Structure 1
Amino acid sequence: MTTAEHDEHAGHGDRNLNHTAFSATVHCLTGCAIGEILGLALGTAFGWSNGATIALSIALAFFFGYSLTLLPLVRADLSLRQALPLAFASDTLSIATMEIVDSLIVLAVPGAMDAGLGDLLFWGSLAGALFVAFWAAFPVNRWLIARGKGHAVVHAYH
Structure 2
Amino acid sequence: MDTNSWRTAITATLHCLTGCAVGEVLGMVLATWWGWGNAASIALAIGLAFFFGYLLTFTGVRRSGADVRTAVRAAVAADTVSILVMELVDNGFVLAVPGAIDAMLTDALFWVSLGASLAIAFVVTVPVNRWMIARGLGHAAVHHLHAGHAAHEGHAAHEGHAGHETHMHH
Answer yes or no: same fold by TM over 0.5: yes
Taking the aligned partners of 2:4 and 2:43, their CA distance within structure 1 comes to 35
The question of 1:55 aligning with 2:43 is answered: yes
TM-score, reference length from structure 1? 0.87
What is the match of residue 88 of structure 1?
A: 76
Give 1:156 shift.
Answer: 3.2
SS at match of 2:65: coil
Task: Tell me the CA shift for residue 34 of structure 1.
Answer: 0.7
- State percent identity of aligned pairs: 57
- Matching of residues 1-150 of structure 1 within 5 Å: 11=1, 14-150=2-138
The structure where helix makes up a greater share of residues is 1
Q: Taking structure 2 as the reference length, what is the TM-score of the superposition? A: 0.82
Query: How far apart, CA to CA, are the structure 2 residues paired with 1:154 and 1:116?
Result: 37
- In the alignment of these two chains, the number of paired residues is 146
Moved over 2 A (4+): 44-47
Q: Distance in 2 between matches of 1:129 and 1:66?
A: 20
* Structure 1 residue 41: Cα displacement: 2.4
Identify unmatched segments of 5+ residues in structure 2.
147-170
Partner in structure 2 of residue 7 of structure 1:
none
Deviation at residue 75 of structure 1 after TM alignment: 1.7
User: 1:71-90, CA deviations, whole angstroms, 9 ceiling, x for partnerless residues?
Assistant: 02112222211211111111
Distance 2:36 2:95 in 1: 14
Match of 1:6 in 2: none
